[in-house]
Structure 1
Amino acid sequence: MRRYTFLFGVALVACSQGDPASSSSNADCAVDPGDGVTPVREEPEDELTPLRLMRRASIALLGVPPTVERMQELLTRATPEAQFAYVDDFIDEALEDPRFYDITFEHARKWFNIPLIPRTADAPEYGAKQQRVLTACKPGTANEGALRYFRDEVPEDVACAAGGAKTTVEAWWAPGTTVTLVGSAANTTNIGQIKPNGSPVDIECNQRAEGTCGCGKNAVSCWHDPGTYPGWGAYLPANPDGQRRLLAEEPARLFAHIVWHDRPATDLILSDYSVGPTEVQAAHINQSLAGGGLDVLTDESWWNPASFGGAAVDPLHEANDPKAWREYSISARNAFFLKERDYTFDPRKDPGTSKGFPSAGMLTSLGFLDTYPRERLRAARALETLACEQLLPPGGEIPFNVYETDPGREGPCQHCHARIDTAAAHFKRYAKARHAFEGWGALYYMPGVGNWQWDPAWRTGVWPFAEEPFAQWNKWYLPGSLLTPATEEEANANPYVLFLDFLPPEFTLLGQTSDGTVGPLGFAKLIVAAGSFDRCVVRRVHERILGRDIDPAAENGYLETLTASFIANGRLVRPFIKSLTQSTSFRRGH
């Protein structure tokens, strides 16, 4: 019997670490020049038996060994050829098993390694919620069970008594039912009051539940926590439905969704869609409202099952389940994460203000942006995770110029910052504000976009601009630096020049020149054009299925062959995984 090694129908050999391929000598790893079905070698003597091969495939694809019944059924096949054919059928079934979705998600969660969004103030406060917490009026009050702000200008006994302000709404977290709001939460006008210095100041509410403003349409700026102490339900990582945990999982869920629905892997960072239950999408909605993007409320498909039932979902939930990881358009949830795929804006010469930046899959998920509150950290993690870049100290005695102000061009840190800062420029127009309070959370600014405009005095650092993120901007966004390629004159004329968030043509990242697309999508385009993203996906999937990474130096020929085939076949991960299970290395237990 003769066994074959195929990758998308092309015969090849997987070079092991003991038999590395190089770019100059990779004959054993190259695509077979013949008809594509010619056997590349005789059946190896140490090939796994069909029973052991099925066990390996089951653990790799499903995370569990095959059942006793399946193993017994395999052994009833009369010939080795029939048994191997049975294993091939088993692999096809496993790739369609919901457990394959689960194991893909777990793999991506470990790969991306995105922590939970950190708190800004005292627990359970954290950033992304940006909604007022509602709690129920106590039994025995006139409005028993009605919902009020956990912290309100209106005292509890007044809000829950008869005769106070009251309204009923179909709340986003309880579609098909109505809830009663009392106190300031029941304010249905667009006028409210805040007390920034102890004295009341009138404000326009614009769907934000700030001060004495109400919860807004469908109570979108509020949420109900029926727990003993309001706020902890969304914060605790032990809660599988808590928003903080869900947002951390969103990037990995998106990857699993892409694999399960046979979408190109590049959708992970180039697309205008992501996945999330209602609780995740609520975070995007409220970020849009914070900047004045109110049009997102005209679309009910983020909370109303009657509107979102047709979306593609994970295999573990029904399409109309609010907890399903369902596909949604990012730009439809956040007015400042744009649908345009080639939006450009150069604040050095373009008049007006930026509309925002294009959505970019997991790179514009709030789980990614909020967890890493600064641009250089986002860039470093994106390079390491999605381009498989190694940001390591330089080896040996290397003379560097003296560091003064710019780590991208000066001192030993430029060894990494030459890459980090050119990537970080794309992540500048999103920043965490320092101030926060329990039950609402931190605020996230998109400087120069929407409502996020300030007096030019912010550049001086005077009150109230002495805290984050203004202090960060004033310290590190230095005109003339690699991170901020603008002149001091340009910055004085327009302070928002400091947030230039694309790579000018005189700079490159991984050898690539930008097309001018701003924000995270501009970064994504560059790592895809460099081939780094595709090679990184191939390495991470290979590591998951075969148990080892591919050494890009010692096995360059093998890596390039796999990557070329992966790209040629539409960057579909599931067929690529199947091809790996048919490889000589997999079938020999390597």
Structure 2
Amino acid sequence: MHRYTFLFGITLVACSQGDPASSSGKPDCTVNPGDGVTPEREEPEDELTPLRLLRRASIALLGVPPTDERMQALLALATPEAQFVYVDGFIDEALEDPRFYDITFEHARKWVNLPLIPRTADAPEYGPKQQRVLTACKAGTANEGALHYFRDVASPDVNCAAGAAKTTVEPWWAPGTSVTLVGSAANTTNTGQIKPNGAPVDIECNQRAEGTCGCGKNAVSCWFDPGTYPGHAPYIATNPDGQRRLLAEEPARLFAHLVWHNRPATDLILSDSSVGPTEVQAAHVNQSLAGGALDVLDDESWWNPASFAGAAVDPRHDAKDPKAWREYSISARNMFFLKERAYTFDPRKDPGTSKGFPSAGMLTSLGFLDTYPRERLRAARALETLACEQLLPPGGDVAFNTYETDPGREGPCQHCHARIDTAAMHFKRYAKAGHAFEGWGAAYYMPGVGNWQWDPAWRTGAWPYAEEPFAQWNKWYLPGSLLTPATEEEANANPYALFLDFLPPELTLLGQTSDGTVGPLGFAKLIVAAGSFDRCVVRRVHERVLGRDIDPVTENGYLETLTASFVSKGRLVRPFIKSLTQSTSFRRGQ
């Protein structure tokens, strides 16, 4: 028979009769922490029947009760021992079932709880895309079926008439086919015009479909929506293939991918890898182009099935399917999200400009960065979601110093901002510019990186720097504050010193000192070093499998024991889930 001993709360349950005694005279209840199973122990008398255990395992792992055939097969076995062996076999099969991937994704989506990226202006075309919208020339025109800008300097009558400029490309959204572009979309030179104040201004296109610039290589800066109203399909939340929804799902899909492929849970926030269909990767590529990193187009594996067929994918899609949630290197899609794992840059004293910041799994997913447009909101949500921090008001009668300018060190808000602001500085070099034009969505700046450089006059707030994100920076990035540990002199010498995005050695987060890594990866390293991330993953997985969270106060010993086992076994979630199904708590229905 199976024999179990288990941990409940922080107390070891007494061993069964016949167990060897320790030198203290007490039963030896040594367990393999986290496995929940020790051979040669008696079964608890109140364990679930095999049939009920089968049902619980099926609902926990697959989200559905077992089939009639499964239950009949179990009941046909002659002994409880055989029935328990059957349940164990079912659990092994369930962990390899695509439905296990599905419910892992749904659990992660609820856990991460990431809203859709908000619109910038009028729905629907102003979603997260930084691409121009194409529409087809109508039937009966000389260029019937050819694609032109939904908004262009020339009218559709001109673009679709004989004599309009034309070019043919293999588009990123339909590999293996060709489309004809007309009008400004067909411009293959590197020169275009914009009219910021009504008067034409010549610009270099650099693969960006701005003004009269063309769509670029493989029409990368454009996209085609054949719907009734161009732009509606990618924007609406009900479209499972719409970019806005896909970007919101990327963090949860990444977690499900790591579980399914037995990758360490820390890859969720420490890795250069993420997952996404072509539509998600297109968003990263266009962010890279916006900053002037054109070499990103040398790699066709973001859209060409011949190049991405070998990538690890979700169990619901073929490896060559552009809609598959396939693994990709973040730094290969956005060259400002760096591959380097320990990149440091101190704008107070290092010359030149920052190269960007290292990629960091879901923390550098555009769904996360674009949805939360400001650094403090990103930090608060990251602390709550990934470190299980509770940002609650102080209890009791607490006296605070007077608030003047710095919520991190003054007034009652410092109770939370002491943590939030030391985390938030890692998310400062990414900001949303709240405008939209010609079918584009918002622009997303990485100040002091790539093309995102401005006249120092931006610090005065004078036109054209009176709007977001400049207004936010000028109001809250105050030299000498907890969020901005640079002096006024340093900021005057180099305004980008305000975007210092690592934790200086005199500050700590969750008791940890930074190694100087900038950006979201610097934050991720700190919460992993503090043990907060591992404990949080254990709590969330425990909640999914056993149906309840672990109280970190009253059950601290239990939490630490499970976490130690989880970490020692490589932080692999699937084996940890299996160990939880073998625990006596699970088999008692607790």
TM-score between both structures, scaled by the size of structure 1: 0.96
Aligned equivalents of 2:62, 2:269: Cα separation in 1: 26
Map of 1:426-445 to 2, 5 A cutoff? 426-437=426-437, 439-445=439-445
The answer to whether 1:389 aligns with 2:383 is no
Counterpart residue number, 1:9: none
* Secondary structure at 1:346 match in 2: coil
* Secondary structure at 1:311 match in 2: coil
Aligned equivalents of 2:538, 2:292: Cα separation in 1: 41
* Secondary structure at 2:223 match in 1: strand
Deviation at 1:14, TM superposition (A): 3.1
Counterpart residue number, 1:188: 188
- The alpha-carbon distance between structure 1 residues 36 and 365, as it changes in their structure 2 partners (threshold 3 A), is closer
Counterpart residue number, 1:101: 101
- The alpha-carbon distance between structure 1 residues 476 and 40, as it changes in their structure 2 partners (threshold 3 A), is farther
* Secondary structure at 1:306 match in 2: helix
Structure 1, unaligned stretches of length 5 or more? 6-11, 20-26
- The alpha-carbon distance between structure 1 residues 30 and 362, as it changes in their structure 2 partners (threshold 3 A), is farther
Q: Which amino acid aligns with 2:91?
A: I
Map of 1:176-215 to 2, 5 A cutoff? 176-215=176-215
Deviations along 1:339-396, whole A, 9 cap, x unmatched? 0000000000100000000000000000000000000000000000000000000011
Deviation at 1:15, TM superposition (A): 2.7
Map of 1:462-501 to 2, 5 A cutoff? 462-501=462-501
Counterpart residue number, 1:150: 150
Q: Which amino acid aligns with 2:31?
A: D
Aligned equivalents of 1:162, 1:476: Cα separation in 2: 55
Counterpart residue number, 1:247: 247
The answer to whether 1:532 aligns with 2:544 is no
Aligned equivalents of 2:409, 2:40: Cα separation in 1: 50
Q: In the alignment, is the contact (CA less than 8 A) between 2:4 and 2:36 conserved in 1? A: no
Deviation at 1:131, TM superposition (A): 0.3
Counterpart residue number, 1:369: 369
1:15 counterpart (6, 9, 23): 9
Aligned equivalents of 2:29, 2:270: Cα separation in 1: 30
Q: Which amino acid aligns with 1:545?
A: V
- The alpha-carbon distance between structure 1 residues 385 and 491, as it changes in their structure 2 partners (threshold 3 A), is same
Map of 1:559-578 to 2, 5 A cutoff? 559-578=559-578
Aligned equivalents of 1:587, 1:127: Cα separation in 2: 47
- The alpha-carbon distance between structure 1 residues 80 and 30, as it changes in their structure 2 partners (threshold 3 A), is closer
Map of 1:26-45 to 2, 5 A cutoff? 31-32=30-31, 42-45=42-45
- The alpha-carbon distance between structure 1 residues 383 and 38, as it changes in their structure 2 partners (threshold 3 A), is closer
Q: In the alignment, is the contact (CA less than 8 A) between 2:431 and 2:444 conserved in 1? A: yes
Deviations along 1:252-284, whole A, 9 cap, x unmatched? 000000000000000000000000000000000
Counterpart residue number, 2:217: 217
Deviation at 1:44, TM superposition (A): 2.0
Q: Which amino acid aligns with 1:301?
A: S
Aligned equivalents of 2:167, 2:28: Cα separation in 1: 70
Deviations along 1:425-465, whole A, 9 cap, x unmatched? 00000000011135210000000000000000000000000
Aligned equivalents of 2:29, 2:518: Cα separation in 1: 38
Aligned equivalents of 1:573, 1:33: Cα separation in 2: 17
Aligned equivalents of 1:30, 1:474: Cα separation in 2: 61
Aligned equivalents of 1:28, 1:164: Cα separation in 2: 89
- The alpha-carbon distance between structure 1 residues 179 and 32, as it changes in their structure 2 partners (threshold 3 A), is same
Percent identical among aligned pairs is: 87
Deviations along 1:439-495, whole A, 9 cap, x unmatched? 210000000000000000000000000000000000000000000001000000000
Counterpart residue number, 2:407: 407
Counterpart residue number, 1:128: 128
Moved more, 121-130 or 70-79: 121-130
Deviation at 1:17, TM superposition (A): 10
Aligned equivalents of 1:28, 1:563: Cα separation in 2: 25
- The alpha-carbon distance between structure 1 residues 463 and 153, as it changes in their structure 2 partners (threshold 3 A), is same
Deviation at 1:3, TM superposition (A): 2.3
Q: Which amino acid aligns with 2:311?
A: A
Map of 1:301-320 to 2, 5 A cutoff? 301-320=301-320
Deviation at 1:4, TM superposition (A): 1.5
Counterpart residue number, 1:22: none
Q: In the alignment, is the contact (CA less than 8 A) between 2:125 and 2:230 conserved in 1? A: no
- The alpha-carbon distance between structure 1 residues 380 and 28, as it changes in their structure 2 partners (threshold 3 A), is farther
Deviation at 1:211, TM superposition (A): 0.2
Deviations along 1:287-341, whole A, 9 cap, x unmatched? 0000001000000000000000000000000000000000000000001000000
Counterpart residue number, 2:333: 333
* Secondary structure at 1:58 match in 2: helix
Deviation at 1:164, TM superposition (A): 1.0
Q: In the alignment, is the contact (CA less than 8 A) between 2:130 and 2:442 conserved in 1? A: yes
Q: Which amino acid aligns with 1:32?
A: V
Q: CA RMSD in A?
A: 1.8
Aligned equivalents of 1:37, 1:531: Cα separation in 2: 25
* Secondary structure at 1:135 match in 2: strand
Q: Which amino acid aligns with 1:15?
A: G
* Secondary structure at 1:415 match in 2: helix
* Secondary structure at 1:382 match in 2: helix
Deviations along 1:37-77, whole A, 9 cap, x unmatched? 75596422221000000000000000001110011001111
* Secondary structure at 2:8 match in 1: coil
Aligned equivalents of 1:181, 1:294: Cα separation in 2: 21
Q: Which runs of 4+ in 1 moved over 4 A?
A: 16-19, 27-31, 33-41
Aligned equivalents of 2:576, 2:40: Cα separation in 1: 19
Q: Which amino acid aligns with 2:209?
A: A
- The alpha-carbon distance between structure 1 residues 293 and 402, as it changes in their structure 2 partners (threshold 3 A), is same
Aligned equivalents of 2:335, 2:68: Cα separation in 1: 53
Deviations along 1:513-557, whole A, 9 cap, x unmatched? 000000000000000000000000000000000000000000011
Map of 1:488-527 to 2, 5 A cutoff? 488-527=488-527
Q: In the alignment, is the contact (CA less than 8 A) between 2:194 and 2:203 conserved in 1? A: yes
* Secondary structure at 1:193 match in 2: strand
Q: In the alignment, is the contact (CA less than 8 A) between 1:117 and 1:126 conserved in 2? A: no
Deviation at 1:125, TM superposition (A): 3.8
Aligned equivalents of 2:534, 2:421: Cα separation in 1: 22
Deviations along 1:378-430, whole A, 9 cap, x unmatched? 00000000000000000111000000000000000000000000000000000
Counterpart residue number, 1:85: 85
Structure 2, unaligned stretches of length 5 or more? 14-25
* Secondary structure at 2:238 match in 1: coil
- The alpha-carbon distance between structure 1 residues 113 and 38, as it changes in their structure 2 partners (threshold 3 A), is closer
Aligned equivalents of 1:29, 1:575: Cα separation in 2: 26
Aligned equivalents of 1:289, 1:46: Cα separation in 2: 62
Aligned equivalents of 2:582, 2:438: Cα separation in 1: 54
